[in-house]
Amino acid sequence: MTIAFVTSSTHRPYDPDLPLLEAAAAERGTVGEVVVWDDPQVDWSAYDAVVVRSCWDYIARRKEFLAWAATVPRLHNPLDVLSWNTDKAYLRQLQDAGVPIIETLWDVTVGDDLGDHDEWVVKPTISSGSKDTARWSSREEAWAHSAELVAAGRTSMTQPYISSVDEEGETAMLYFAGTFSHAIRKGPLLQRGEGVRQDRDSREEITPRTPTSQQREVSDHVMETVMSLLGLDQAPLYARVDLVTAADGAPILIELELAEPSLFLPQSGGGAGRLVDAVLERAGA
Ligand SMILES: Nc1ncnc2c1ncn2[C@@H]1O[C@H](COP(=O)(O)OP(=O)(O)O)[C@@H](O)[C@H]1O
Ligand SMILES: [Mg+2]
Average pLDDT over residues 171-196: 95
Q: Which atom in ligand 1 lies closest to the alpha carbon of residue 187?
A: 27
Whether 204 is catalytic = no
Among 59, 91, 123, the mutation site with the greatest number of ligand 1 atoms within 8 A of its Cβ is 123
Q: Which ligand is nearest to the CA of 185?
A: 1
In a shared domain, residues 54 and 123: no
Q: Which long-range contacts (CB under 8 A, 24 or more apart) does 100-103 make?
A: 100/218, 100/246, 100/250, 100/251, 100/252, 100/253, 101/252, 101/253, 101/254, 102/159, 102/160, 102/162, 102/244, 102/246, 102/252, 102/253, 102/254, 103/159, 103/160
In a shared domain, residues 74 and 126: no
Ion ligand 2 residue ranges (Cβ < 5 Å): 255
Q: Whose CA is nearest to atom 15 of ligand 1?
A: 130
Query: pLDDT for 256-281, tens place per residue?
Result: 999 999 999 999 999 999 999 999 99
- Asked whether residue 113 is domain-assigned, the answer is yes
Catalytic residue among 185, 209, 240, 274: 240
How would you classify residue 237: left for phi > 0, otherwise alpha for psi between -120 and 50, otherwise beta? Answer: alpha
Decide which of 113, 136, 160 is a domain's last residue: 160
Residues with CB under 6 A from ligand 1: 102, 121, 123, 127-130, 133, 159, 161-162, 165, 170, 188-190, 202, 242, 254-255
In a shared domain, residues 72 and 12: yes
Q: Which atom in ligand 1 lies closest to the alpha carbon of residue 186?
A: 25
Whether 240 is catalytic = yes
Decide which of 63, 80, 97 is a domain's last residue: 80
Between 204 and 70, name the one with better pLDDT.
70
Q: How far is the CA of 172 from the centre of ligand 2 (A)?
A: 9
Instruction: Give the C-alpha distances (Å, rounded to integers) separating 115 from 64, 119, 140, 189.
Output: 38, 10, 13, 23
Q: Is the pLDDT of residue 202 over 80?
A: no
- Asked whether residue 12 is domain-assigned, the answer is yes
- Asked whether residue 186 is domain-assigned, the answer is no
- Asked whether residue 120 is domain-assigned, the answer is yes
Q: Is the pLDDT of residue 113 over 90?
A: yes
Average pLDDT over residues 238-247: 98
Q: What does the mean pLDDT of the chain come to?
A: 96
Query: pLDDT for 121-150, tens place per residue?
Result: 999 999 888 899 999 999 999 999 999 999
What range defines the domain where residue 149 resides?
Answer: 105-160
Average pLDDT over residues 105-130: 95
Q: Is the pLDDT of residue 15 over 90?
A: yes
In a shared domain, residues 11 and 66: yes
Per-residue confidence (pLDDT) for residue 65, from 0 to 100: 97
Per-residue confidence (pLDDT) for residue 247, from 0 to 100: 96
For 229, counting Cβ atoms within 10 Å of its Cβ (0-12 exposed, 13-18 middle, 19+ buried), the class is middle
Among 190, 194, 258, the mutation site with the greatest number of ligand 1 atoms within 8 A of its Cβ is 190
Q: Is the pLDDT of residue 284 over 80?
A: yes
Tally of domains within the chain: 2
Which band of pLDDT confidence, cut at 50, 70 and 90, is reported for residue 59? confident
Per-residue confidence (pLDDT) for residue 201, from 0 to 100: 76
Whether 74 is catalytic = no
Q: How far is the CA of 37 from the centre of ligand 1 (A)?
A: 26
Per-residue confidence (pLDDT) for residue 200, from 0 to 100: 82
Average pLDDT over residues 38-58: 97
- Asked whether residue 272 is domain-assigned, the answer is no
